[in-house]
Amino acid sequence: MKKILFTIIIVFILAGAGFIIWATNTSPIMPEAEAALQTDDQVGVKVGQWLVFEPRGSYAEIGLIFYPGGKVDYRAYAPYAHQLASHGYLVIIPEMPLNLAVFGVNKADHIIEAYPEINEWVIGGHSLGGSMAAVYLQNHPDAINGLLLLASYPAGSTDLSGYQGIVLSISADRDGLTTAEDIDQSEILLPAGTTFVVIEGGNHAQFGYYGDQTGDNPAIITRTAQQKAILEYTLQFLKGMASELK
């Protein structure tokens, strides 16, 4: 009996170690992401458990909390966050336990508490990060004014159809991981007024700066072009929210 228990314990230990190795084995971030982690004249950057991209000068009244994709280094979204901050929006990307947002759904709690000067919050994320942002929103609908989904959709148990805030879904037609079918099937879980936009020629991995991703399709536009489209759609979304709040 003792040998059996010992064997079971060893199996669990090895399985746990294997999972940790798998989860922490992320692709290296690209040089553009490294460069975007630097403070400049427009944006102050703080690197720690959160990546904070803080506009220099006056803030917009809206802040964005962005959850990274599964098994993606949170720094891979630095160029996107840096550019948003250069337009006056505070952007914060929390580092997730084991690089999986499912283990850090409530990270937004501490961020919101730390920035009482921000009156309106948008939460969002890429892929798994967006799905977990949707879970946070479902549990805290009064704390969040908008949801931003990048190549992402709510899980089946996350029903946001009655949510009163605004929602933007940005997807790509060459995405091999979050497909058009996934987006269409989840539409019923989002408010009727949700805006859906599709980037033609884009794929899953080009929503960040971490290289190619297994299971994805090749993009037929450049990462720069896809990122430009993502930025423009996001800025329209945030500016539209600001107009509604006036």
Q: What is the dihedral of CA 5, 8, 13, 19, to 10 degrees?
A: -160
The 10 Å Cβ neighbour count of residue 30 is 18
Which pLDDT tens digits describe the chain residue by residue (246 residues)? 434 433 333 433 333 434 343 345 566 899 999 999 999 999 999 999 999 999 998 777 899 999 999 999 999 999 999 999 999 999 999 999 988 999 999 999 999 999 999 999 999 999 999 999 999 999 999 999 999 999 999 988 899 999 999 999 999 999 999 999 999 999 999 999 999 999 999 999 999 999 899 999 999 999 999 999 999 999 999 998 766 655
**In whole angstroms, what is the distance from residue 102 CA to residue 171 CA?**
21
Axis-axis angle for helices 223-245, 78-86 (nearest 10):
40
Domain spanning 39-245, CATH class: alpha beta
pTM of the model: 0.90
Nearest alpha-carbon partner for 70 in 16, 127, 18, 20:
127
Q: Are strands 146-150 and 166-172 parallel, antiparallel or unpaired?
A: parallel
Residue 88 identity: G
**In whole angstroms, what is the distance from residue 50 CA to residue 34 CA?**
15
User: Token digits for 93?
Assistant: 């990307």
- In this prediction, residue 59 carries a pLDDT of 76
User: Token digits for 106?
Assistant: 């409530």
**In whole angstroms, what is the distance from residue 221 CA to residue 175 CA?**
12
- Biggest CA-to-CA distance, the chain: 70
Nearest-Å Rg of the Cα atoms of the chain is: 19
